[in-house]
Amino acid sequence: MEAVPRKTTIRDVAEAAGVGVGTISRVLNSSSQVSRETRARVLKAIRRLGFRPNAQARRILRRRSETVCFLLSNRDFLHPFHARILQGVESYASGMKQHVLFAALHYSPRIAADKIDLPHVLQEHGLIDGVILAGTIYPNLLRRMESIHVPFVALSNNVMGMDGKSAFDQVGFDDFSATLEATRHLTGEGHREIAFAGDLSFPWFQRRFAGYREAMREKKLKPVLAAAKGAQSFVDFGQRVAQRIMGRRPKPSAVVAGNDEIAYGLWLWLRRQGVKVPDEISLVGFDDREEAVLMDPPLTTIRVHKEEIGQTCMKMLLERLHNPQMAFSQRILPTEFVIRGSVRHI
């Protein structure tokens, strides 16, 4: 351990153990075919010399880098949502002796695909085996990814403007069923005037709205979309929407928010106006971020299993790498409706 471990190569070990280089390689890769005594002798020499094989050299021959790239696109920062997914990717990867490279990318949805300046690591060859696309994914990025011939898996919830089938692997969760269930819960609790708060220019809010609308249709209730222009953030959006909603007649008794941040914005405004949640108005969020449970009352919301999504992305990517001919597929993971304290029975 203390001997300088630098320049010891497989040939040094071979000489020290009095065997050929091939034998060292066989011992390292435990590919049978080595006698018990020889193996012991080699292992002893390895330990004595402090030999650590150079993984780089192996990678050339194997034509595998055993590394995948987690590519976060068009995000100002690594939001807890994606941080959790990254963590899921890492945990699955480390179990499979794979490495995860983190890279960020900023690009315009309107730029030509071949003009997208991918991170350095994707421009060279052999550094990574595959990519997990996170962040916001526009069609031009997908086309760019295809052009470099590297297998990839995309987080389908953040894919923009691809309605039909697409020729790539995807992992996502079921926005529609999630708000369907959440809204059914509200109607089950006796609510009739239920609004949905979200900006439908985002496809995921469209899907969530559709689930909400379906549940409303089932009960023959009138869906109400509450939106606001010029919001600086989701929280700001929530605050603006709250103001609007409270001006409506009839006043809604419950709001399904497009995500937890919007719900927080709603809550903040309501609180400031002295409107009690859930006594006067019920609230449902979406995502179940850390803060949801810390709100007062704790927010009833839809939990997205972020680690599991990350793990599934990694798993799917490895399957693709092992079997490049496999048909493309989309895996949809279930969400979980978490009942806390922000919904009241009427």
CB nearer a second copy, residue 37 or residue 61: 61
Q: Which stretch binds DNA (CB under 7 A): 51-59, 233-241, 252-260, 302-310?
A: 51-59
Burial class (CB in 10 A: 0-12, 13-18, 19+), 193: middle
* Least CB distance to a second copy at residue 50 (A): 9
Binding mask 6-25 for DNA (x = CB under 7 A): -x-xxx------xxxxxxxx
Strand partners, 271: none
Q: Distance between CA 285 and CA 288 in Å, rounded?
A: 7
Given the structure tokens 């806390």, which residue do they identify?
340
* Least CB distance to DNA at residue 39 (A): 7
Binding mask 15-54 for a second copy (x = CB under 8 A): -------------------------------------xxx
DSSP 8-state secondary structure symbol assigned to residue 325: T
Sites for DNA among residues 269-308 (CB under 7 A): none
Sites for a second copy among residues 195-254 (CB under 8 A): 235
Q: Distance between CA 336 and CA 300 in Å, rounded?
A: 11
Give the helix ranges, DSSP H, for 189-259.
203-218, 234-247
Q: Give helix 36-49 / helix 21-28 axis angle, nearest 10°.
A: 90
How many residues bind a second copy, per CB under 8 A?
52
Sites for a second copy among residues 266-305 (CB under 8 A): 268, 271-272, 291, 294, 296
Given the structure tokens 């819960």, which residue do they identify?
185
Sign of CA dihedral 185, 189, 194, 195: negative
DSSP 8-state secondary structure symbol assigned to residue 52: -
Contact status: 128 vs DNA (CB under 7 A): no
CB nearer a second copy, residue 85 or residue 194: 85
Sites for a second copy among residues 148-167 (CB under 8 A): 149
Q: Which stretch binds a second copy (CB under 8 A): 118-126, 216-224, 240-248, 330-338?
A: 118-126
* Least CB distance to DNA at residue 66 (A): 12
Contact status: 34 vs DNA (CB under 7 A): yes
Separation in Å, CA 325 to CA 75, 151, 322, 329: 32, 11, 9, 12
Q: Distance between CA 16 and CA 100 in Å, rounded?
A: 36
Q: Distance between CA 48 and CA 2 in Å, rounded?
A: 10
CB nearer a second copy, residue 17 or residue 270: 270
Contact status: 1 vs a second copy (CB under 8 A): yes
SS3 279: coil
Task: Report what 19 binds from DNA, a second copy, none; CB cut-off 5-8 Å by kind.
Answer: DNA
Q: Which helix (H) or strand (E) holds 16?
A: helix 10-17
What is the C-alpha R_g of the chain? 26
Q: Distance between CA 338 and CA 320 in Å, rounded?
A: 34
> What are the residues binding a second copy (CB under 8 A)?
1, 4-6, 52-57, 59-60, 65, 67, 70, 77-80, 83-84, 86-87, 90-91, 94, 97, 99-104, 114, 119-121, 123-127, 147, 149, 235, 264, 268, 271-272, 291, 294, 296
- By the criterion CB under 7 A, which residues form the site for DNA? 7, 9-11, 18-26, 28-29, 31-35, 37-39, 53-54, 56-58, 60-63, 125
